[in-house]
Chains A and B, each alone.
Chain A
Amino acid sequence: MSAPAPFGRSPARLPPQLEARLSSSLEAELARPVRPWWRDAVAFVGVTLALFVVGCFLFQRSVSPLALGAGVWSQSLALLAASLVAGVAGLAPWPQRTSRPLVLGALVAGTVLVTQVVSMELAPFTPKLGCFVWELVASLVPAGVAIVAARHYAPRLSRAMVLGWAAGTLSLAVMQLKCPHRDVGHLLLFHVLPLVLVVAATVLVRRRVATTSYAP
């Protein structure tokens, strides 16, 4: 459709001075090699897997893997998978319509898993602040990696939330192996609440750090 006056079409060329100024400001950047997007995803996956393995070895001292039921292991591995899927989908340059099913799938799977854990025992409340602290500490590195990687995209609330969720879910997966308590109150307060805090912190920090690219 034609734009009506007082709306006119844009000029075809910039004023020469402005064009020269903008061109020269881009010269240095053009000389730099391009950074492939998948490097960030690989870094996130690597850190996530490494932390999970470290967590397994670390917590073997307090809880024997054999003492853990197969259900706990499968839930923990499933949470790890959900974290990886959400993290990669959050860092990929795919259009939102491509990433959305993956992210939603991971979120639903994670929520179902947590709900299943919660419904396991309606035992008396177990106050253990250590779980809360450990879970926050375990999510620091993946959340940091995710935030650094997210700088290569335009700041978007949904992306930051997904990445925070992925980082928090990883620490939840690790803590499933350490924590023997399965009562609703303990899981909600000392495991799910840290996950929510990690999401909130990731969103806040991402808003504050500088963006290196505004690609959608």
Chain B
Amino acid sequence: MAEDSDSDEALMMRFRGGDRQAFDQLFRRHAAPLTSFLTRLTGSAAAAEDAVQLTFLSVIRSRDQFLSGSRVKPWLYAIASNAARDRHRRTRRETPASDDAVEAGLDAVHGDAGLRRRLLEALQRLPEPQREAVILHRLEGWSFAEIAEAVGASETAVKVRAFRGTQVLREALKDVWEFES
């Protein structure tokens, strides 16, 4: 029986062993943050929903590939990024962010809708590796080590990506928001 206090890793190992409830617990715990992350990454609620679905389908299909001793969260976000990237490559068109998208993905954001839209648009102009690093570090509060693990890059590379991305965002939003360093 999966408990709320169980770690992601314990839940994942139980799921590997056939415990369906452990998967439900993982899904409830991570679906919302992943949707939010993917909305910011793709700039589209529809794309984010597709990518979340693909992410959890991949978790189910590849649960045997999750290695004991690994951490679930970086693995999950790596899957989500891969799914979003592949989906974007296949569709080859950016769906403009709708108000629904902004509300679904950024409903915890402070400020007005205009500011949220500016942020989302500015994010979409970043190269994907920078966008990913900025979202995970600035928006989700991940450490650089965690991001490096998720994206399969060095910590230094991730720091550079986040720094450059933040600089671009700072410039894009300078008239409406002052960034913390």
Q: Are B31 and A8 in contact (CB under 8 A)?
A: no
In the assembled complex, A13 has its CB within 8 A of some CB on chain B: yes
In the assembled complex, A19 has its CB within 8 A of some CB on chain B: yes
By size class, the interface of chain A is 35 or more
A94 and B106 alpha carbons, distance in the complex (Å): 35
Q: 1/0 per residue B31-55: CB within 8 Å of A?
A: 1110111000000000001001111
A19 and B75 alpha carbons, distance in the complex (Å): 21
Among candidates A19, A22, A213, residue contacting B62 with C-beta atoms closer than 8 Å: A213
Q: Closest B-chain residue to A7, C-beta based?
A: B139
In the assembled complex, B174 has its CB within 8 A of some CB on chain A: no
Q: Are A26 and B57 in contact (CB under 8 A)?
A: yes
In the assembled complex, A30 has its CB within 8 A of some CB on chain B: yes
Task: Give the residues in chain A near B116, CB-CB below 8 Å.
Answer: 6
In the assembled complex, B64 has its CB within 8 A of some CB on chain A: yes
In the assembled complex, A211 has its CB within 8 A of some CB on chain B: yes
Q: With contacts A22-B31, A37-B65, A216-B152 known, is A30 near B79, CB below 8 A?
A: no
In the assembled complex, B145 has its CB within 8 A of some CB on chain A: no
Q: Are A214 and B54 in contact (CB under 8 A)?
A: yes
Q: With contacts A18-B49, A213-B62, A215-B58 known, is A5 near B86, CB below 8 A?
A: no
Q: Are A8 and B106 in contact (CB under 8 A)?
A: yes
Q: Which of B53, B56, B64 has the most CB of A within 10 A?
A: B64
By DSSP majority rule, is chain A's interface helix, strand, loop, or mixed? loop
Q: Which of A7, A11, A13, A35 has the most CB of B within 10 A?
A: A7
Task: Give the residues in chain A near B55, CB-CB below 8 Å.
Answer: 214
Q: Are A9 and B65 in contact (CB under 8 A)?
A: no
**A1 to nearest B CB, angstroms?**
6
Task: Give the residues in chain B near A19, CB-CB below 8 Å.
Answer: 28, 31
Among candidates A12, A29, A93, A154, residue contacting B57 with C-beta atoms closer than 8 Å: A29
Q: 1/0 per residue A153-182: CB within 8 Å of B?
A: 111000000000000000000000000000
Name the interface residues of A1-54: CB closer than 8 Å to any CB of B: 1-15, 18-19, 22-23, 25-26, 29-30, 34-37
Binds A, one of B3-11, B91-99, B107-115: B107-115
Q: Are B49 and A213 in contact (CB under 8 A)?
A: no
Task: Give the residues in chain B near A34, CB-CB below 8 Å.
Answer: 16, 61, 63-64
**A61 to nearest B CB, angstroms?**
43
Name the interface residues of B123-169: CB closer than 8 Å to any CB of A: 138-141, 152
A residues contacting B by CB (< 8 A) are 1-15, 18-19, 22-23, 25-26, 29-30, 34-37, 93-96, 152-155, 211-216
- A-B contact sample (12 more), CB < 8 A, given A6-B109, A22-B52, A152-B65: A3-B138, A4-B180, A6-B177, A7-B109, A7-B138, A8-B106, A10-B140, A11-B107, A26-B27, A35-B64, A214-B79, A216-B79
